Amino acid sequence: FTGAYCLNPFNGERVPIFVADFVLMEYGTGAVMAVPAHDRRDFDFARKYDLPIRVVVQPADRETTDTAPAEAYVDPGVLVDSGPFSGMDSQAAKEAIIAHAEQQGFGKARTTYRLRDWGISRQRYWGTPIPVIHCHRCGIVPVPEKDLPVVLPGTDTPDGSHAPLHRQEKFYSTTCPECGEAARRETDTMDTFVESSWYFARYTSPRSTVTPIDPEAAGYWLPVDQYIGGVEHAILHLLYSRFFTRVLRDLGYLAIDEPFANLLTQGMVIKDGAKMSKSKGNVVDPNDLINTYGADTVRLFSLFAAPPERDLEWNAQGVDGASRFLNKVNRLIRNNLDCFDSVPLPEADTLNPPSRLLHRRIHQTIKRVSDNIEKNFHFNTAISAVMELVNQATALTAESREELHPGVLRPCLETVLLLLFPMVPHFCEELWELTGHDQSMDHAAWPGFDPAAAREDELTVVVQVNGKVRSRLTVAADIDNELLRQQALADERIRHFMAGKQAKKIIVVQGKLVNIVI
């Protein structure tokens, strides 16, 4: 702590100034505004030095508390405890905050570039030869285009004393293309980032010998619909790929500006807080767990433990939970095999309350699982949604089995198996066959989603006063915003917190939230 303070221009509060080694001088002005509740590094720093952690962004349906958060919340949400910006969507709030700073004259929007020089030479064999020749008379001379590409020679095992090509005299001994005197070919090779920066474009026309890329084939295949890579490549590889794509576009090989339409950056599997590696002795062999629990159980545990973009802390005890869940599904199916007799689904309007509830949960789950898999690969929340459906079905079959219509229970159990099939295929396939299906699940269609069937009759809406949750309203699902405003203002608890003051602004997020600013 420097002992000095600065003023937050938005609210006039004093902000202590710290010096920390994770703030880069070349980033922005070299000073950053720490937001511990919403940045992981700032959060760790605040925890270490016992600094206040103020939550200013949270999910729309989360209740505001004074308890310090257990971890940084870094996802989009709704602003709280943020003065006139409370209740706004965090993405929209960014623009409003910048506009306010510009209007008041203490700030403005600016694009910050983080470019650095890139040294591409490497002292190894497996890389693209750098096509230059060193001549004592002419200096560095490029290899003539007619002599390209420079091809790697056969090589013996490197001993680590020199670059492998440095020992290949037949490779490096050559003549200068300008003066004809003896010269030496470059023995460093290009960084493998050079090849990986455009390989996806070459994949579109791998047999082309005239040009590296056939523009017609590239136009058909590119951009890449979904790109998945490790977090260690999240900056440099992706940056270089964009550079190469723009250059190939300018040269006429590509007709796209960006190489990838969607990106998923995977986290790593860690143990005891560290990346698994043989040198650290913390590598776990999953075969030990597979031999005990089976491959499907271990797969389910791995997918459920964390979203793919986050690091997964390996904890073998979590496999027990996955095993218990699959046993629960197994019991649910086997205890209700009688419902798999051919019974048509009745009209939804004729269903009794338990059957109507289960019918609604089926389609809500189909929507959640489909979105989580297709939109962001969040298998953990997809599995969680199926768990909720299984719990609902288990409770209803225990309490109201005689009331449940077989035409609802059967599609419920089939849906559970179909939704779990991508995660635990062997387990689901066996139960699928047990329930009388002749064809493999590979040939089964993904469950269809019916929006009308998934619609709730009533909704619970959070009501905030100045960004803090003060009440909840149960309202009709099709309520309009004006009526929702009126009911929020008439709520007894809200009137108490408003204490007779007039509302300056009322923000309504349809079906989810009402925020009253006083």
pLDDT of the residue at 198? 95
> pLDDT per residue over 277-323, tens digit each?
777 777 778 888 899 999 999 999 999 988 888 888 888 788 999 99
User: Over 90: is that where the pLDDT of 341 sits?
Assistant: no
What span, in angstroms and rounded, lies between the C-alpha atoms of 86 and 97? 11
Residue entry with tokens 């419902």 = 339
> pLDDT per residue over 218-234, tens digit each?
999 999 999 998 877 77
The answer to whether residues 183 and 142 touch, using CB atoms and an 8 Å cutoff, is no
Enclosing H/E stretch for 229: strand 227-230
Q: What size, in residues, is the chain?
A: 518
Neighbours of 24 (CB within 10 A): 10
pLDDT of the residue at 147? 94
| Residue 88 one-letter amino acid | M
pLDDT of the residue at 336? 93
Q: Which residues of 453-467 are buried (b: 16+ CB within 10 A; e: fewer)?
A: bbeeeebebbbbbbb
Binned at pLDDT 50, 70 and 90, residue 88 comes out as confident
What is the residue-wise DSSP string for 169-184?
Answer: HHHHEEE-TTT-SEEE
Reference 351, options 339, 359, 341; nearest CA is 359
The answer to whether residues 137 and 40 touch, using CB atoms and an 8 Å cutoff, is no
> pLDDT per residue over 138-158, tens digit each?
999 999 999 998 998 876 666
The answer to whether residues 358 and 414 touch, using CB atoms and an 8 Å cutoff, is no
What span, in angstroms and rounded, lies between the C-alpha atoms of 174 and 133? 8
Domains and CATH numbers, the chain: 5-104 (3.90.740.10), 121-190 (no CATH), 193-266 (no CATH), 286-453 (1.10.730.10), 456-517 (3.10.20.590)
Q: What is the pTM of this model?
A: 0.62
Q: Which residues of 119-153 are buried (b: 16+ CB within 10 A; e: fewer)?
A: eeebeebebbbbbebbbeeeeebebeeeeeebebe
Residue 364 contacts by C-beta under 8 Å, 6 or more apart in sequence?
454
pLDDT of the residue at 114? 65
User: Over 80: is that where the pLDDT of 335 sits?
Assistant: yes
Reference 369, options 355, 354, 389; nearest CA is 389
What span, in angstroms and rounded, lies between the C-alpha atoms of 390 and 345? 20
What span, in angstroms and rounded, lies between the C-alpha atoms of 386 and 476? 26
Token pair listed for 163: 């670059």
> pLDDT per residue over 424-477, tens digit each?
999 999 999 999 998 999 999 999 999 988 888 888 899 999 888 899 998 888
Token pair listed for 297: 């159980």
